[in-house]
Amino acid sequence: MAVAAPVRATVRLTSACNNRCLFCCQDGLEAGLPAVEERLRALRAEGVAELTFTGGEPTLHEGLVAAVAAARAAGFAAVGVQTNGARLEAQAAALKAAGLTDVHVSLHGAAAAVHDYHTGVEGSFAALERGIGAARALGLAVAATTVVTRSNFRVLSPLPRSLHALGVSAWLLELPRHAGRAAPAFDRVVPRLGLAVPFALHALDVALKLGLASFIRGAPLCALGPYASRALFDGRKAFGGRCDGCAARAGCGGVEAVYLARFGDGELNARAAAELAPLDALARLFVGPGPLHAVEAGHVHPSPAAAREALPLLGKVKPAAQEVAPGAAKKSGDALKEILPQLFERG
């Protein structure tokens, strides 16, 4: 069963951005945006309790701090901002003072060369690290998304330790969306699932072992094996002929239609219902060996300390205490006659 996506609304503040990410799925969006106050009122009327300001890059919008304050005043319990981090260091304190609760950054590699290649801006990695540091120093929660591309999927595994060290609370590995700038660059950006997902799952496993809450979005359930419980879905919903009869289909996000058209469905693998049996049903199969032969009462193995006393000690052999006193002069071969006279008796 996939993790349910949290109920949190988004409010887009701007289409402008100071990065040039090669997979940007918002590139080309219309600039026309509804008035923020009006949108906030509508969301509260719908009962929405949390929201995230998005862009473009919302820190470029001069009304961001006021929008955060307005959202808190309108009663939103949690208010976040999605950001590439370029201006986060400079704005974190004002945003926190206005009531911001969390920051959602995009980090596409554990090294500057990888991240900056994806953003198209030299120095974006260093600025983002400073921004995360500033946000964490103020007590803001930080979540991070890594877009898994043809260029970074082989170098995902160092990311969990970097994110953990930076104090990031949650991580999402996301396959690119076929939209915006990513659409014409499909072959440059979109990796084959069969190649990229194993690397992504290895990184996911490292992250989970570090205690970093981690998820993956954009991969079908049949590609995720034991990590299917970490899947998030976002409306990509195309299925191939190999999905026919798949027992997982009702809970599967499938793949994007463009991916299927480009690569076919050869990487999809219908699941039998038995494979999807709940873990507790499978665990019930291990019933144990049945009655045990009782051991005699009072049979107790010695403690490790007692066992050590009974074992021979390793190390330098000591002289036999009763035969040679410490410091006694060494004896020559003739002295053997005193010790073993029988050796010298003639038969």
Q: Kindly list the residues in this chain that would bind ligand SF4 in the complex (CB under 6 A).
A: 220-222, 239, 242-243, 246, 248-249, 252, 254, 268-271
Whole-number minimum distance, CB 261 to ligand SF4, in Å?
15
Pick the closer one to ligand SF4 by CB: 104 or 177: 177
The count of residues in the chain is: 347
CB of 251 to ligand SF4, least distance (A): 8
State which residue, 58 or 254, has the beta carbon closest to ligand SF4.
Answer: 254
- Helix axes of 159-166 and 193-209: crossing angle, nearest 10 degrees: 40
Closer Cβ to ligand SF4, 51 or 148, answer by number: 148
Could you tell me the strand order of the sheet in which 170-174 lies?
9-12, 50-54, 78-83, 102-106, 141-147, 170-174, 213-217, 231-232
Which one, 235 or 312, has the nearer CB to ligand SF4?
235
Rounded-to-integer distance, Cα 130 and Cα 133, Å: 5
Measured from the CB of residue 277, what is the shortest distance to ligand SF4 in angstroms?
15
Q: Are 190 and 150 in contact (CB under 8 A)?
A: yes
- The neighbour count for residue 238, using CB atoms within 10 Å, is 16
Q: Tell me how crowded residue 101 is: count the other CB atoms within 10 A of its CB.
A: 18
Q: Which is nearer to ligand SF4, 55 or 220 (CB)?
A: 220
Least CB distance from residue 198 to ligand SF4, whole Å? 16
Q: Which residue lies nearer to ligand SF4 by CB, 105 or 248?
A: 248
Angle between helices 64-73 and 36-45 (to 10 degrees): 30
Helices (H), 169-237: 186-189, 193-209
Q: Are 58 and 18 in contact (CB under 8 A)?
A: no
* Residue 276: CB minimum distance to ligand SF4, A: 9
Q: What is the distance between the alpha carbons of residues 157 and 127, in angstroms, rounded to a whole number?
A: 22
Q: Which residue, 109 or 220, is less far from ligand SF4 as judged by CB? A: 220
Q: What is the CA radius of gyration of the chain?
A: 33
CB of 232 to ligand SF4, least distance (A): 14
- What's the closest the beta carbon of residue 125 comes to ligand SF4, in angstroms? 34
Angle 72-132-67 from CA coordinates, rounded to 5°:
25
Distance CA(100)–CA(67), nearest Å, equals 10
